[in-house]
Amino acid sequence: MTAKTTLGIFGLGTVGTGVVTLLGDNPQFEIRAIAVRDRAKPRDIDLSSFEVTGDPFKLADDPKIEILVEVAGGVDPAYQVIKRAITNGKHIVTANKELIAKHGPELFDLANRHNVTIFFEAAVGGGIPLISTLHRGLQANRISRVAGIVNGTTNYILTKMEREQKSFAEALGEAQAAGYAEADPTDDVEGRDVAYKIAILSSLAFQAPIEVEKVYRQGITAISDLDIKLAAEFGYRIKMIGLAQPGVGDSGVSLDVRVHPMLVPRHHPLAGIEGVNNAIFIKGSAVGEIMLYGPGAGRFPTASAVVGDIINLASAIKLPDFARYFQLPISSQVSDIFPIGETTNAYYIRLDTEDSPGVIGNLGHAFGEHGVSLHSVLQKHVADDAATIVLLTHQVKEKQAQAALAEISAQPTTRQIGVVLRVLS
Ligand SMILES: NC(=O)c1ccc[n+]([C@@H]2O[C@H](COP(=O)([O-])OP(=O)(O)OC[C@H]3O[C@@H](n4cnc5c(N)ncnc54)[C@H](OP(=O)(O)O)[C@@H]3O)[C@@H](O)[C@H]2O)c1
């Protein structure tokens, strides 16, 4: 009988519990120890046959552990524990998007130097086999776009707002009650979670790391049910999108990577993604357009990806010098990201104005001055002397649109610029 692959599991929350359950009594593996923060906490599984420790560094130092499975989350102490484990010659399986987005290049380099590997399939898209698709399946392609709905919480909120005419606050409350949003939902609704994920996808698709702090982010908190209704009148649905594509900006060739809500044309495959599901749309030079779709979170979908990594790694470590085969084709050179002003988009703009003669003319003049051409204009009266005006523009550089909006904002007939959203082309 072949020797069992020995594992240390760091974290026994939603995902860790799923991982231990899926591994069950699989004769191929031996869980040597599990690290948790609070050993007295009641658990969903029987731990009597496992060694449970409060110190994750013990796993990193245990010479009998071959694979450290990190499902604790956050940077501290996961970053230090993983570095120690790599230095001690252990392979890593992690679900930690924040860690990979912030420290991936450094950890991959450390792993290469110690001839071990890091697998992170669960870090983006939960149960969807996305990392392996980009890393292996699409190697023959030049990728020209990755656009994803990779945050279930915001997609659930936007779906509720659209389907049940709920306000943002009501939909968020329901997401929290259903366990789809944290008590502090900031990372989700302000786009930080998507930024981590699109940074990882961008580095795989374009084979160069980016600095996640430089990724432009706009959250969904300013979107109203009115925007969702108006977008539908124009033939669009509003979705929170992580976008990565190569391009040429004022400063030369670099990457256009950003996170913001977008109007997605109703016929686009991403428009149909509802609730907590995730979907990632990829354009490749040879394959054309593909979309991967499925559950982006949850105990067993995420554990499916983690345990898949463990099984793949366990078969590979039996082979000589296998780690090189799994090295990621990511350069050590960090790629520049466009400033948002240099991106090109069509825009949806909702603003409140006085309902007086000449308002539309004033708007048209400001847009014309800055080279912004209008596609459609819709005027809604909300009171005797006030109007809501909604405009769709043609494609234009963001800085031109912003200059026009600055001028409009200063016009005496403008009450407020409500929301400005980009349109997915
Ligand atoms: N939940 C999902 O659906 C999902 C989907 C995709 C990816 N992920 C990623 O998977 C990872 C885990 O997420 P999760 O939802 O399972 O988190 P979770 O439910 O909060 O569980 C975290 C676990 O880590 C343990 N832990 C945290 N800090 C520790 C420390 N300093 N020492 C020892 N143990 C520590 C906790 O111990 P206690 O139990 O004692 O508190 C808990 O068992 C994260 O990176 C997350 O981004 C999650």
Residues with C-beta less than 6 Å from any ligand 1 atom: 11-16, 35-38, 41, 56, 71-73, 77, 95-97, 122, 126, 297-298, 302
181/207 same-domain check: yes
272/354 same-domain check: no
In-domain check, residue 9: yes
90/192 same-domain check: no
Report residue 383 as tokens.
């009171």
Q: How far apart are CA 14 and CA 43, in angstroms?
A: 10
In-domain check, residue 42: yes
231/150 same-domain check: yes
Mean pLDDT across the chain: 95
Q: How far apart are CA 391 and CA 317, in angstroms?
A: 58
108/161 same-domain check: no
| Residue 1 pLDDT greater than 70, yes or no | no
Per-residue pLDDT at 250 = 72
| Residue 414 pLDDT greater than 70, yes or no | yes
3-state secondary structure labels for all residues of the chain: CCCCEEEEEECCCHHHHHHHHHHCCCCCEEEEEEECCCCCCCCCCCCCCCCEECCCHHHHHCCCCCEEEECCCCCCCHHHHHHHHHHCCCEEEECCHHHHHHHHHHHHHHHHHCCCCEECHHHCCCCCCCHHHHHHHCCCCCEEEEEEECCHHHHHHHHHHHHCCCCHHHHHHHHHHCCCCCCCCHHHHCCHHHHHHHHHHHHHHCCCCCCHHHCEECCCCCCCHHHHHHHHHCCEEEEEEEEEEEEEECCEEEEEEEEEEEEEECCCHHHHCCCCEEEEEEEECCCEEEEEEEECCCHHHHHHHHHHHHHHHHHHCCCCCHHHHHCCCCCCCCCCECCHHHCEEEEEEEEEEECCCCHHHHHHHHHHHCCCCEEEEEEEEEECCEEEEEEEECCEEHHHHHHHHHHHHHCCCEEEEEEEEEECC
State in Å: Cα 70 to ligand 1 middle: 8
Per-residue pLDDT at 67 = 98
Judge whether 197 counts as a catalytic residue: yes
99/203 same-domain check: no
Q: Tell me: the pLDDT tens digits for 117-164?
A: 999 999 999 999 999 999 999 999 999 999 999 999 999 999 999 999
Per-residue pLDDT at 333 = 84
Taking the CA of residue 76 as reference, the ligand 1 atom at the shortest distance is 31
In-domain check, residue 282: yes
Q: Which of 67, 90, 119 is the last residue of a domain?
A: 119
Q: How far apart are CA 421 and CA 258, in angstroms?
A: 13
197/271 same-domain check: yes
State which of 9, 21, 36 you would mutate to test the pocket of ligand 1, scoring each by most atoms of that ligand within 8 A of its C-beta: 36
In-domain check, residue 320: no
Q: Which of 279, 295, 311 is the last residue of a domain?
A: 295
350/270 same-domain check: no
The domain tally of the chain equals 3
Closest CA to 60 of 114, 22, 125: 114
Closest CA to 119 of 91, 99, 153, 142: 91
Q: Tell me: the pLDDT tens digits for 308-346?
A: 999 999 999 988 888 888 888 777 788 889 899 999 999
Per-residue pLDDT at 322 = 85
State which of 15, 17, 299 you would mutate to test the pocket of ligand 1, scoring each by most atoms of that ligand within 8 A of its C-beta: 15
In-domain check, residue 330: no
136/280 same-domain check: yes
Q: What range defines the domain where residue 357 resides?
A: 343-423
State in Å: Cα 51 to ligand 1 middle: 18
Per-residue pLDDT at 105 = 93
Confidence of residue 228 (pLDDT cuts 50, 70, 90): very high
| Residue 393 pLDDT greater than 60, yes or no | yes
Q: Provide the angle, in degrees to the nearest 10, between the axes of the packed helices 78-87 and 97-113.
A: 20
Cβ(244)–Cβ(146) below 8 Å: yes
143/96 same-domain check: no
Average pLDDT score over residue span 355-360 = 91
In-domain check, residue 125: no
Q: How far apart are CA 246 and CA 200, in angstroms?
A: 15
State in Å: Cα 91 to ligand 1 middle: 19
* Residues above pLDDT 70, as percent of the chain: 99
152/279 same-domain check: yes
Q: How far apart are CA 385 and CA 68, in angstroms?
A: 65
In-domain check, residue 315: no
Per-residue pLDDT at 201 = 97
Taking the CA of residue 54 as reference, the ligand 1 atom at the shortest distance is 33
The CATH number linked to 71 is 3.40.50.720
Residue from 197, 239, 283, 397 carrying the catalytic annotation:
197
State in Å: Cα 377 to ligand 1 middle: 48
Q: Which of 119, 142, 174 is the last residue of a domain?
A: 119
